[in-house]
Structure 1
Amino acid sequence: MELSITRDGLRLHALLECPGHDRLCPIVILCHGFGGSMDAYPGSLYQRIAERLVARGVAVLRFDFNGHGRSDGEFSHMDVLNEIEDLIAVLRYVRSRTDVTAIRLLGQSQGGVVAGMVAGLYHDVIDRLALLAPAATLKDDALAGTCMGRSYDPDHIPDIVKVPGAGEVGGHYFRIAQVLPIYETTARFTGPALAIHGLADDIVDSKASRRYGEMMPNCAVSLYPRLDHGINGADGDKAVDEVIDFLSV
Structure 2
Amino acid sequence: MDINIKRDGLTLRGRLERPDTESKCPAVIIFHGFTGDLGYERDGLFQALADMLTENGIAVVRFDFNGHGKSDGSFTDMNVLNEIEDAIAILEYVRKLDFVTEIYVIGHSQGGVVAGMLAGYYPDVIHKLVLLAPAATLKDDAQKGVCMDAVYDTQHIPDTVCVGGEHVVGGHYFRIAKLLPIYEVTGNYQGPALVIHGIHDAVVDASAAVRYHECLENCRLELMEGIDHGLQGDEYAQMVKAVVNFLCTE
TM range (shorter): over 0.9
Q: CA deviation at 1:97?
A: 1.1
Q: Which aligned pairs between 1:51-90 and structure 2 lie closer than 5 A?
A: 51-90=51-90
The runs of at least 4 consecutive aligned structure 1 residues that moved more than 3 Å come to none
Q: Which aligned pairs between 1:2-151 and structure 2 lie closer than 5 A?
A: 2-151=2-151
In structure 2, the residue matched to 1:195 is: 195
Task: Provide Cα deviations, 1:2-32, integer angstroms capped at 9, x if missing partner.
Answer: 0011100100001000003532000000000
Task: Provide Cα deviations, 1:60-117, integer angstroms capped at 9, x if missing partner.
Answer: 0000000000000000000000000001000011111110000000000000000000
| Separation (CA, whole Å) in 2 of partners of 1:28 and 1:40 | 17
Task: Provide Cα deviations, 1:18-54, integer angstroms capped at 9, x if missing partner.
Answer: 0035320000000000000011221101010110000
Aligned-residue CA RMSD in angstroms?
0.8
| Separation (CA, whole Å) in 1 of partners of 2:19 and 2:165 | 36
In structure 2, the residue matched to 1:207 is: 207
Aligned residues: 249
- What secondary structure does 1:174 align onto? helix
- What secondary structure does 1:196 align onto? strand
Amino acid at match of 1:195: V
Task: Provide Cα deviations, 1:126-185, integer angstroms capped at 9, x if missing partner.
Answer: 000000000000000000000012111111100000001551000000000010000000
Q: Is the 8 A contact 1:35 1:166 kept in 2?
A: no
| Separation (CA, whole Å) in 2 of partners of 1:3 and 1:71 | 11
Q: TM-score, normalized by length of structure 2?
A: 0.98
Task: Provide Cα deviations, 1:208-227, integer angstroms capped at 9, x if missing partner.
Answer: 00000000100111000111
Q: Is the 8 A contact 1:66 1:75 kept in 2?
A: yes
Amino acid at match of 1:82: N
Unaligned 5+ segments in structure 2 are none
| Separation (CA, whole Å) in 1 of partners of 2:117 and 2:159 | 26
Query: Does residue 1:154 correspond to 2:135, yes or no?
Result: no
CA, structure 1 residues 121+53, in 2 after alignment: closer, same or farther (shift >3 Å)?
Answer: same
CA, structure 1 residues 31+151, in 2 after alignment: closer, same or farther (shift >3 Å)?
Answer: same
Unaligned 5+ segments in structure 1 are none
Q: Give me the identity figure in percent.
A: 54
Amino acid at match of 2:143: L
CA, structure 1 residues 121+166, in 2 after alignment: closer, same or farther (shift >3 Å)?
Answer: farther
Query: Does residue 1:234 correspond to 2:234, yes or no?
Result: yes
CA, structure 1 residues 166+28, in 2 after alignment: closer, same or farther (shift >3 Å)?
Answer: farther
Amino acid at match of 2:92: R
Task: Provide Cα deviations, 1:218-249, integer angstroms capped at 9, x if missing partner.
Answer: 01110001110000111111111101111123
Amino acid at match of 2:176: I
